[in-house]
């Protein structure tokens, strides 16, 4: 067990596990956290998993861990790991089971006070038009050839079929489509699971949330993003549903043989991986990118459904009801990017698992309007707490592979939350706090109770104090829809 005594304190918000901590480590582990946030993970395996991740072949720089860290599969959730391209490895556990789980934020000019009489109806319509729940079918069922087009094209497919605008794609990470997606490397089982789930939330921590822009911290950036104080915004949190989960399951199994074939020694079989330039590595990358494109299209369809709800309720009643996209960003992804590491520009595969890309001003790939502000970083909290809009910084490019935190981070297991928290009581508590709630099950609601998570404000204070992101706006929930 790794304790705080094994860490080197750099500042109140940064710590390091030196490479000398264990003989098989190839790089050190750099942690962004306060001591209190660190103490909250001492009972799980987060730090041990980070040290294990530091043994992978082809690692460069450092293993970076965000303040919302908690135990995951192989890698801790909140980890950022970069491997040299193309000889370094790619690891499904470094991306996660919900490939391209991410957040989409849309903004409006609807004043909250004017919207209050309509929020209950809005909650009902969002719940109706945006299906949620375990195994729930989506708003669209496609045949396998059409699904394969979705896997290749992502949000471009949605644009071509009338579910998106050019502005939506411009304000989506990678334009909503990862090049190199290969539907042929996605199993038939994965495709069967995905073909009926386009336009659905799923369950767990996925949600649709209507928020009020509660406070602005950077006026110029907020103006560029279209965030107005006192107005409604909408967040969508979901990923690649059963398709992405099956892709990860398939390759975690298939790459076990690759580890032996290439003589890779791992301290934990959950770190299973393959060289990127190997047939196995190429197959996983092609399938992972296809699943990521499914997720981009999925969130785009949910945004289309949410716009339908807003139009039905507010058009003709209130001005400024149109939902315009602020940004859509992944927090479970493996991207090939170029970064400066130890003074050299290098092409690397950045695994972000429970971490958000946070590119600074002037970074390639950002839409023109965000070149001066840095990329929007979307950090949802938990039901009943704040969410944050941040912006990437030049410091994040230098210190964290252009990455920041992705949320509050769990501090209580799902089983413990269900044991200690009653869903009906939580629903009453939220409703009394002015939050309209629609949930598929009370046990599912209990799993996602605010006290099952860390303090999102402290997480955000940590990354902003460390300089890898800056505050733009704070959001307050008024409607929550969960599976």
Q: Is the dihedral of CA 188, 172, 68, 22 positive or negative?
A: positive
Tokens 């789930």 — which residue? 197
Mapped onto helix, strand or coil, the DSSP state of residue 459 is helix
| Beta-sheet pairing, 332-341 with 207-216 | unpaired
On the question of a cis peptide bond just before residue 376, with omega within 30 degrees of 0, the verdict is: no
CA distance 99 to 245: 7
Burial of 423 (0-12, 13-18, 19+ CB in 10 A): buried
CA distance 303 to 368: 23
* Cβ density class 354-388: b for 16+ within 10 Å, e for less: bbbbbbbbebeebeeebeebbbbbbbbbbbbbbbb
Residues 6+ apart with CB under 8 A from 126: 208, 210, 305, 306, 309, 438, 479, 481
Catalytic residue set: 406
CA distance 228 to 209: 17
Q: Is the dihedral of CA 181, 185, 187, 192 positive or negative?
A: positive
H or E element that contains 166: helix 166-170
């Amino acid at each position: 067990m790794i304790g705080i005594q094994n860490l080197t304190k750099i500042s109140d918000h940064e710590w390091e596990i030196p490479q000398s901590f264990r003989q098989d480590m190839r790089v050190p582990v750099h942690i962004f956290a306060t001591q209190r946030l660190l103490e909250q993970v001492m009972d799980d395996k987060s730090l041990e998993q980070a040290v294990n991740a530091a043994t992978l072949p082809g690692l460069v720089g450092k293993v970076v861990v965000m303040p919302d860290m908690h135990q995951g599969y192989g890698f801790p959730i909140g980890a950022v790991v970069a491997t040299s391209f193309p000889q370094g490895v790619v690891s499904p556990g470094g991306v996660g089971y919900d490939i391209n789980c991410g957040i989409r934020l849309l903004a409006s000019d609807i004043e909250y006070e004017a919207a209050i009489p309509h929020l209950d109806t809005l909650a009902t319509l969002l719940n109706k038009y945006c299906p949620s729940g375990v195994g729930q079918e989506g708003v669209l069922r496609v045949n396998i050839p059409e699904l394969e087009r979705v896997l290749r094209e992502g949000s471009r497919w949605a644009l071509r079929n009338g579910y998106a605008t050019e502005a939506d794609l411009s304000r989506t990470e990678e334009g909503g489509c990862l090049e190199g997606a290969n539907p042929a490397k996605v199993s038939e089982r994965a495709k069967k699971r995905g073909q009926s789930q386009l336009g659905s939330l799923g369950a767990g921590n996925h949600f649709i949330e209507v928020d009020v822009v509660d406070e602005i911290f950077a006026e110029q950036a907020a103006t560029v993003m279209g965030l107005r104080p006192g107005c409604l915004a909408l967040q969508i949190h979901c990923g690649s549903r059963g398709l992405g989960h099956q892709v990860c399951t398939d390759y975690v199994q298939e790459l076990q043989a690759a580890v032996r074939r290439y003589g890779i020694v791992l301290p934990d079989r959950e770190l299973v991986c393959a060289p990127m330039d190997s047939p196995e590595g190429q197959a996983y990358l092609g399938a992972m990118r296809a699943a990521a494109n499914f997720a981009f299209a999925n969130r785009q369809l949910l945004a289309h459904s949410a716009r339908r709800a807003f139009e039905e309720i507010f058009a003709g009643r209130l001005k400024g009801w149109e939902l315009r996209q602020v940004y859509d960003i992944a927090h479970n992804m493996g991207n090939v990017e170029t970064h400066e590491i130890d003074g050299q520009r290098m092409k690397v595969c950045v695994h972000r698992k429970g971490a958000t890309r946070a590119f600074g001003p002037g970074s390639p790939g950002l839409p023109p309007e965000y070149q001066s502000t840095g990329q929007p970083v979307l950090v949802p909290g938990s039901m009943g707490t704040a969410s944050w809009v941040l912006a990437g910084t030049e410091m994040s490019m230098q210190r964290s592979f252009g990455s920041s935190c992705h949320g509050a981070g769990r501090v209580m297991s799902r089983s413990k939350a269900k044991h200690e928290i009653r869903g009906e009581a939580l629903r009453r508590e939220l409703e009394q706090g002015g939050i309209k709630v629609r949930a598929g099950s009370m046990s599912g609601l209990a799993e996602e109770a605010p006290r099952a998570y860390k303090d999102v404000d402290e997480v955000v204070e940590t990354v902003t104090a460390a300089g890898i992101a800056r505050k733009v706006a704070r959001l307050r929930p008024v409607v929550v829809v969960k599976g």
